[in-house]
Structure 1
Amino acid sequence: MPSMFEKITKKLVKELGDRQLRPVKCLVSATKIHQFSLIQRKKARSQFWQLPDEPLDVSLMHILEPGSSVPDAAVEVPAAFSYTVVRKQQAAGSVNAGAEAGFSGETAACRATFLEYRIVSTPEETWNHLQQRKLPDPEPAVLKQCREAGANVYVVTDTVELLNNPVLTDLSSANVSGKFSLPLDILVKGKGQGGGLKVREKTVTVPKGSVVAYKRKQLVFYRRGWGICYCEDNDQETFPTDFKLLEEEVSQKVKAAKLSKGMQNIVFSNLLAMLGDHKALQDRKALQNLMYKLEQEPFGHLDGPGGTILTELRKDSRYPEVGSKCLILYLLEALMVLSDIQHVLLAQSMEKRILLPQRDLVRSLLEPNFNCFQNIPFTLQPKLLAPLQGEGLAITYGLLDECGLKMELNSPRSTWDPEAKEPLSALYGTLSVLKQLAEA
């Protein structure tokens, strides 16, 4: 059941009508939360509930390198909130459970409070100023603890702060009378007529300056940099995965497959036939059908190149489920992330046997920018471009352009786009697996 304090903060947030405001649920947190405070939320072990916000005893200023003073936050005009509710209820009845008991009663409840508050907000200029400051090396202990716990971290951007010392009052009473042959409570004892009035009063004094509601934004940390996740769903990770995890994932998939040379050759040649189909819709449909049949137990049946791959997989009695099947499904999923144009360009890359230099080039883009959430310029390394001259370079630039990186053939310079990370990761996985298959 919500506490008296939580009931009031929820009423205030509802009155203010700002969906981003979060009511503070306990008085202890109200004295810990301030502007720029850090808050962690650990991941629940169930998908059906979330753990509550947990204020940390540090602020954003404590984990950043020292810098010049922060601009003053904007303060809105002070306001007030008064809340009073009176509830009265009557009841009567009788009970016969081996003994006679008749009763009538009346209950009443009253809650009242008066809050004076101000809303403190943080202007955009402040965040621009703060993001110029880096994280110290090594990282602060509090961040290490949150990383190891798998918790997401947030920063308080706006607060609703009290300007007075309100006393929250909850007054309730019960008046019961009647004829009893059983003792009901301390108000009535024994047989006969009886009656009693029970009054209960609860009061809580909230200290001036307490935060009763707040807004927060999720933080994202990468290397010595950091950023703010502005999406309302907060579906980012505070400590996003590193490129090395993608690299290890691909490597593990390939090692676990243990494909024979003959099997590698069959998969490679038949995927080439499927990707080289210039009828894009048929190409994508064929890849999807192969995925569906692979997911069936036992494998389904197909005609064409996909059917040839399924036939050979049925002959692979060593690790048909754990190895070969998983690797091919992994490759097909990566291909489905890529565009139809990229499928055609990949078929050309397979024919020209330029998969290895293409993979190394994509790696050179992903590794330094994997957790970069800003548009920053980059330059392709000349030694990585050397094996990709002429038509091979045009094919490669086309693959990158379809990922969202605007490349020009006469220039190795471009700008990193954070939205290109997912298709580039899929391209890296695709090139890595195809390169392994091509070794047959």
Structure 2
Amino acid sequence: MFHRETKFLAKQLDSSGKLIPVYSINDQEHFKPLCLVQGKEKDFFWKSERYYRTEFKISDVLVPGHYNKNLDVQDAGSVRVEHTVDGSVEGNINFENVEVKGLAKMSQERSINMKKTFVSVQVLESLQRERKINMEHSFITQLKNQRRNLYVIHEAVHASEETTFKDSNRLEGSIIAQIYVKLHGARNSKRDLTIPKDCVLAFRVMPLIIEDGSWNPVYVPTKKTKTFARDGVSEEGIGDPQKEVEQKCEVLTALSADLSAKFFNCIKTAIKNINLLQELVLELEWALDNPDAYQVKTENPDLRDLLQCLPGTTTVLFLDLAGAILYVAHALDELTEDQLLLVYESMERKILPPQLELVKNILKQDFHQNNGAFHLDAKLLSSLKEEQLNITKAMIEISGVMFQIDGPFLNGIGNPDDSSALAALYVVLCILHLLTKSK
């Protein structure tokens, strides 16, 4: 629930995606200004780079020296966010003179005072001139060997006071409500999340380039910006989304019948419970970073049943299998909780093939033209009954694409800013369809 709330707040405060939500409340202390975060190479066509906590601040990895100026973190003032949705009530958010509106399908109460802290660019530049990176530092050495990128946090959004978010599930008569009741057996449910004072909710980063001890913050990064030089390393990615999925999941399609069943049970469990999904992501990330020392931590029987197969395998198989499972989990984690429920129901109703074909065709459209409007052949969905069509529309609309059938045409409209969300949905549908066929 914490990650869902931080994603919501980050998107409302900055729709460009440069304000990054904190993933886990347990790690929030490591995402304050001047903290260092690492990023793994982006190798998915649909996913932006993920940022991981480290135990260090920028000053910890510099060569000792005399720097007279204080590394002051400044306060940029506070802002109050009120967002209440109950029936037709909407909440307005005002942040840095930009007003946005929030929408939701559940009864929610969000009221939070936040403050922004930052470290000035001038301070970073002055520090960069005075002190070099300690290239012998064990963290820097490991980072370079593992081809990780390094970033310094220069801005963070904190909770100004202890805050409780209330979430009441009252979706009488909606498709998502019916699916929720089917899976969880309760029509009305309430969840509360208490955010402690000064908790970091989101942050901005600046990539660093390091060479021979010199380091430079990058103000206008590109996709080719790397912390360390790549000697003779190709940076070409995978061009075909379907081929990427097939390549990443090849090891999963070759599983034994017993392991395949365990994998499906694990994925179904994670889809139905977003907290378990996030637990699966964190455990697999730790496993890949520590393959020789990995031990299963989760207590969930379905997750444990699958993950217990990892220890004892060869290193190559361990990395391939854990990496493939994490690829699937990362794709699922990009979807909203409502989308996951709709995906689960689509899987149960065996309507993934037409959904996959539709999303594939939508992704081919250029949303920068014609104000995002596009036209497709309505035959793409001719095999779906009314209720199946409603499930499909609801699932795709959450990714920012609206459409309706008008005679022989499927008329829709999309937003370029939402293309990554639609791409993640495509990956999920493609993976589940691929694995269902191999099963």
Look at both structures and tell me which one has the larger radius of gyration over its CA atoms.
Answer: 1
Same fold (TM over 0.5): no
What TM-score does the superposition give when structure 2 sets the normalisation length? 0.42
